[in-house]
């Protein structure tokens, strides 16, 4: 007899909603037996095939490449066809809540309306812009080194996992979000592309662009392809300064202010940083500054802490600086 | 047990209670801390947006001073942790980058070797001192309290980096703080946003975003009967403590919830008094 295949039972709580017939969403429980090699997409299939044929979800390639099967399992962004069920059991135990990527945008069960995702994706001109000869004699060459510099940004499958995991998107529907910004990087760091200034100006708008990222690393964690969007957002910040496209505003002054402050004290002069970043806008921080002052939370100029060996820090800032504002 | 303490800026300025309570608690627990007075600001995850190389050089210098003492570097701020740990990870895995950084450090007579670990206090307590030991020293169990743990992004994500020092803490289901609360006799509040973002890093440039995220997290803690929040990150603490009224307005409710630093909570259970824990510095009255 062949070795028995190892199986496990999992207990599912599954989000159900049909926008045509349901007033409110509800959760339904299912018990499913899974075996070692199965992925979360097999679990969705079992629900559909064994329990309820109306259960709806998107899938196409089953190979982690079409990007259509994104869901949430215990609030963890998951590409269903890529995630092994046994790994999920190891992470969470055998009780799992299965939900769509965004409950706000659900159409039916796991199927959501991704229009917001695509609109923002399209907003950054997600294609190569360059004056190419349409009938070239040789290939439009890119060196391996230049290719490596794309840092895997080109393998995004537009699944939306990062985008619907992003808390900044959750509370600000204007924010472009991690996928669109990672795509901006993908073309802005492509040596053949010629539209980087244009894209930099698009992604530098306050309220929607790179400065609205809260640096939570949810996108890095959520991406099934290792795109690491937050890393790319950081390089868009530095590219903004390198290309001289930084407008003087609260966000850019904030980033630069750190250097100024470290150069003076080694430590951060928190009050000075806020004042310098905000300019006249500093006034709106007065009530909170007053609260902090009363509780002994504001360092005064005469007792600002200073690093020991401050001269070393100043010297390093002088010799190692690689950016200008 | 001896460690080098990287205080970060916040502990020396807007959260003096953090440094105070950390030193007091360490003393009781028998942990000897040498403060790295030579250290500079870590750049708070913003300097690298302007000048990545400079950020690496300054943080490598910070780590050098722990290496000189031959000690593990302890952080008491999640963002300091991620900045220093990222620097360490990059230099330890990229000889060429390390050489470029060391070329600069040489000008001030330093060399980054990679010999010191960089760990947040929370994980030193869990993995090196051990919760069992802390449990035996509890004088005033926190049994009257429902405590909402708030983990803070930069201790748990990205897990690939953080798992080097936090032993497999699952960012979707973290447990270290919950376990510590139970160790001290308290009841850990279960709520979804415990591993979410407080919004601090967009505070100046996207104040609405920051305030809403703070408001949502605190609201959920309150709805689950939290008596106070505890966090290992002073930046989360600041946002939660100083800005909670503002945040409340953004989510349409009044919020009044004390927010304690990790060391303040431990100190309470160890029987330290209000003064020793700097509780008078907390903006939302934390009168325990
Ligand atoms: S790091 Fe920035 S882009 Fe990524 S999920 Fe967080 S806020 Fe969104
Ligand atoms: S960056 Fe990753 S998570 Fe985001 S859409 Fe692309 S593949 Fe999906
Ligand atoms: S089905 Fe295509 S990525 Fe999962």
3-state secondary structure A181-222: HHHHHHHHCCCCCCCHHHHHHHHCCCCCCHHHCCCCCHHHHH
Answer whether B263's CB lies under 8 Å from B234's CB.
no
- Give the pLDDT of chain A (325 residues) as one tens digit per residue: 557 889 999 999 999 999 999 999 999 999 999 999 999 999 999 999 999 999 999 999 999 999 999 999 999 999 999 999 999 999 999 999 999 999 999 999 999 999 999 999 999 999 999 987 888 888 888 899 999 999 999 999 999 999 999 999 999 999 999 999 999 999 999 999 999 999 999 999 999 999 999 999 999 999 999 999 999 999 999 999 999 999 999 999 988 888 989 999 998 888 888 888 888 888 888 888 888 988 999 888 777 889 999 999 999 999 999 888 8
pLDDT tens-digit readout, B59-104: 999 999 999 999 999 999 999 999 999 999 999 999 999 999 999 9
Instruction: Give the per-residue pLDDT at A2.
Output: 59
> CATH fold of A8-112, please?
Ubiquitin-like (UB roll) (3.10.20)
Q: Across the interface, do A312 and B110 touch by the CB < 8 Å criterion?
A: yes
- What's the pLDDT tens digit per position in B177-234? 999 999 999 999 999 999 999 999 999 999 999 999 999 999 999 999 999 999 999 9
Mention the CATH class of domain B137-281. alpha beta
Ligand with an atom nearest the CA of residue B158: 1
For atom 3 of ligand 2, which residue has the closest CA? A223
Coil, helix or strand for B231? Answer: strand
In contact, B55 and B43? CB cutoff 8 Å:
yes
B111: confidence class by pLDDT, cuts 50, 70, 90: very high
Using the mean position of ligand 3's atoms as its centre, give its distance from the Cα of residue A68 in Å. Answer: 5
| A181 C-beta closer than 6 A to ligand 2 | no
Q: What is the ipTM of this complex?
A: 0.96
CB contact under 8 A, A255 and B50: yes
Q: Fold for domain B2-119?
A: Glutathione S-transferase Yfyf (Class Pi); Chain A, domain 2 (1.20.1050)
Burial class (CB in 10 A: 0-12, 13-18, 19+), B11: buried
Domain range list for chain B: 2-119, 137-281
What part of B 9-38 touches A (C-beta under 8 Å)?
Answer: 9-10, 12-16, 37-38
How many whole angstroms from A178 Cα to the centroid of ligand 2? 8
Alpha-carbon gap, residue B262 to B18, rounded angstroms:
8
Please state, in angstroms and rounded to a whole number, the distance separating the CA atoms of residues B28 and A215.
Answer: 35
Tell the CATH topology of A115-134+141-242. Answer: Fumarate Reductase Iron-sulfur Protein; Chain B, domain 2 (1.10.1060)
Q: How many angstroms is it from A152 CA to the middle of ligand 3?
A: 19
Domain boundaries, chain A: 8-112, 115-134+141-242, 250-320
Rounded to whole angstroms, the Cα distance separating A219 from A222 reads 5
Give B131→chain A minimum CA distance, Å: 23
């Amino acid at each position: 007899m062949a070795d028995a295949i190892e199986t496990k039972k999992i207990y599912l709580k599954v989000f159900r909603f049909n926008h045509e017939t349901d007033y409110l969403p509800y959760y339904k429980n299912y018990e499913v037996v899974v075996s070692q090699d199965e992925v979360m997409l097999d679990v969705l299939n079992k629900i559909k095939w064994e329990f309820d044929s109306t259960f709806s979800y998107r899938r196409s390639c089953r190979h982690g490449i079409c990007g259509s099967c994104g869901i949430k399992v215990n609030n963890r962004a998951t590409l269903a066809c890529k995630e092994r069920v046994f790994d999920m059991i190891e992470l969470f135990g055998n009780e799992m809540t299965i939900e769509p990527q965004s409950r706000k945008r659900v159409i039916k069960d796991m199927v959501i309306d991704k229009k917001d995702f695509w609109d923002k994706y399209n907003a950054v001109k997600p294609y190569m812009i360059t004056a190419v000869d349409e009938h070239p004699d040789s290939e439009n060459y890119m060196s391996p080194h230049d290719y490596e510099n794309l840092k895997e940004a080109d393998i995004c499958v537009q699944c939306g996992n990062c985008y619907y995991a992003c808390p900044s998107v959750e509370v600000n529907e204007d924010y472009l979000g991690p996928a669109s910004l990672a795509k901006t990087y993908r073309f802005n760091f492509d040596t053949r592309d010629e539209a980087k200034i244009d894209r930099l100006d698009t992604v530098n708008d306050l309220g929607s662009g790179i400065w609205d990222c809260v640096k939570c690393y949810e996108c890095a964690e959520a991406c099934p392809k290792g795109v690491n969007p937050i890393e790319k957002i950081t390089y868009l910040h530095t590219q903004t300064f390198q290309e001289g496209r930084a407008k003087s505003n609260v966000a850019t002054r904030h980033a630069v202010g750190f250097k100024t402050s470290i150069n003076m004290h080694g430590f951060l002069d928190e009050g000075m940083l806020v004042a310098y970043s905000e300019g006249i806008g500093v006034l709106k921080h007065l009530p909170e500054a007053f609260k902090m002052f009363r509780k002994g939370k504001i360092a005064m100029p005469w007792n600002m802490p200073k690093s020991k060996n401050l001269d070393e820090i100043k010297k390093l800032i002088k010799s190692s600086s690689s950016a200008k504002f | 047990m001896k460690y080098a303490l990287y205080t970060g800026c916040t502990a020396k300025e807007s959260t003096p209670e953090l440094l105070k309570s950390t030193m007091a608690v360490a003393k009781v627990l028998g942990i000897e801390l040498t403060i790295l007075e030579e250290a500079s600001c870590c750049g708070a995850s913003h300097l690298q947006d302007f000048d990545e190389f400079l950020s690496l050089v300054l943080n490598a210098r910070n780590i050098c001073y722990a290496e000189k003492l031959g000690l593990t570097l302890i952080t008491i701020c999640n963002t300091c942790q991620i900045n220093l740990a990222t620097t360490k990870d990059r230099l330890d895995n990229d000889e060429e980058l390390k050489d470029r950084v060391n070329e600069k450090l040489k000008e001030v007579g330093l060399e980054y070797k990679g010999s010191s670990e960089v760990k947040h206090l929370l994980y030193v307590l869990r993995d090196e001192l051990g919760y069992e030991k802390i449990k035996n020293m509890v004088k005033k169990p926190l049994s009257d309290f429902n405590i909402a743990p708030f983990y803070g992004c930069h201790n748990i994500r990205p897990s690939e980096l953080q798992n080097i020092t936090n032993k497999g803490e699952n960012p979707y289901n973290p447990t270290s703080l919950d376990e510590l609360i139970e160790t001290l006799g308290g009841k850990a509040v279960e709520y979804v946003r415990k591993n979410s973002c407080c919004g601090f890093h967009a505070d100046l440039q996207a104040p609405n975003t920051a305030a809403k995220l703070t408001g949502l997290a605190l609201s959920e803690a309150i709805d689950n009967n939290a008596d106070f929040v505890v966090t290992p990150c002073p930046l989360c603490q600041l946002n939660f403590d100083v800005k909670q009224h503002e945040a409340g307005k953004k989510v349409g409710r009044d919020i009044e919830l004390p927010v304690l630093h990790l060391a303040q909570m431990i100190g309470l259970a160890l029987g330290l008094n209000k003064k020793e824990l700097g509780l008078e510095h907390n903006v939302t009255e934390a009168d325990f």
